[in-house]
Chain A
């Protein structure tokens, strides 16, 4: 049948046309187009990858910052609590020292007072003694102004002596 018999002319022209078309399009169209498309896809892919990397880097940095902030805050808190503790310690120490010093001072004062009192007492005693001696001297002088009395005393004393 005519319909399914290939004509030599059409076979020839189709082969020629297709070969020319394949050559020209292959060289000047498909190659540059495919290369350009591949290149664009590549660049888009790298851009996406880079964006992803940047995003990750950003996330990492944010995390790092947060961690840093957190640790700084913790450190601050630690330092503050340490300082409070030290302050309290110092106050306590100071109080204790003051108390000790105070009581020592009081003790010293007491000893001093006692000393002074003893000295004063001794002084008073001396004075009382000398006064009494003076008084006694004076009294004795008064008593022994006349001779008779002296003799009497001596006789008394002697009597005492004979007895012993």
Chain B
């Protein structure tokens, strides 16, 4: 009886998730449709453009269909700072904003400097640095706000309920926090794990939340922050600095004093390259996994529009639901792997070697 009730619950959950993704998928479909409908009735459907647009960054935040939330454009030019709304650059490719220092135009989601006649001035564009609050930056602000609200409230719950069993959100987060501590930090870093716990926990939850929000197919989710090379690069650089600034003498000895000394002319360059490849691998792994997931799901949905028939949708939806389930796993897995490898590298850098050469990597 007990088993069947569990099974029922499982079925219920699965059907709920399926229903959710069906609706979500439908939403994305209609969003696509609306986006393309006005101008695209005779225009050819370009899945590549659509997909790249969705996994890339943009200067406005699509809400529903053609409705866009304008975001602030912040430009650091050689003549000074420029701040204005991205609504002034809409519609892209045609609207020209006359700023204080230059004239600007949006071309392929990049702000370009144009001269008076509307021709792109590449030399001037190179001097302009774009610090705009783009869709990814805005979503990151949102994710960070969520993280702060969630974990500060969890933290206050710990203060209020000293020595008591966790409750509510606290009991939902505690296993994850303990997972990071007991299965990521402790086994890989060892006794000095506590120093690195804030970094590992922040990275884990930052990646996890952004992965999950990226899977939500409608506003304000559906962005591709953890699948953006800039974000994964920053996270990897942080890991790089933490690893190398904490590296003890064994770590550096391992790099600069190869065990059979005559191997130094091979081993030292290899080890030095290794210092950089580790974080680069972290960066590419997260970027590629998340981006690939987004591309796959969007491609499957695009099938409907490529074939221009509603009858493809069941096939698409089945595959998309399947991919979504896999992406849900990947969301957790990549957050886990990034944090795990970060912890592993830190652990290797601060490990106290008792023998001369124990590491083989």
Contacts and interface: CB of A to CB of B under 8 A. Distances in A.
B144 A3 contact: no
The DSSP consensus for interface residues of chain B is helix
Question: Which of A21, A24, A32 has the largest count of B CB atoms less than 10 A from its CB?
Answer: A21
Interface stretch (B23-31, B131-139, B253-261, B298-306): B131-139
Given A20-B144, A29-B151, A11 B202 contact: no
Interface in B16-70: 52, 55-57
A4 B147 CA distance: 27
Contacts of A18: 202, 206, 234-235, 238
A10 B228 contact: yes
Interface residues of B, number: 48
B229 A3 contact: yes
The DSSP consensus for interface residues of chain A is helix
A11 B234 contact: yes
A4 B202 CA distance: 24
Nearest to A7: B230
Interface string B164-179: 0000000000100110
Nearest to B231: A14
A42 to B, nearest CB: 10
A37 interface: yes
A29 B154 contact: yes
Contact of B159 (A20, A36, A37): A36
7 closest cross-chain pairs (CB), A and B = A26-B198, A6-B230, A36-B158, A10-B230, A29-B151, A29-B155, A14-B234
Interface of A: 2-15, 17-18, 20-22, 24-26, 28-34, 36-37, 39-40, 43
Interface of B: 52, 55-57, 74, 108, 129-134, 136-137, 140-141, 144, 147-148, 151-152, 154-155, 158-159, 162-163, 174, 177-178, 181, 194, 197-199, 201-202, 206, 228-231, 233-235, 238, 287, 291
19 contacts: A2-B56, A3-B56, A3-B229, A8-B131, A9-B134, A10-B230, A13-B137, A15-B234, A18-B234, A18-B238, A21-B202, A24-B152, A25-B148, A25-B152, A26-B199, A30-B198, A30-B201, A36-B158, A43-B163
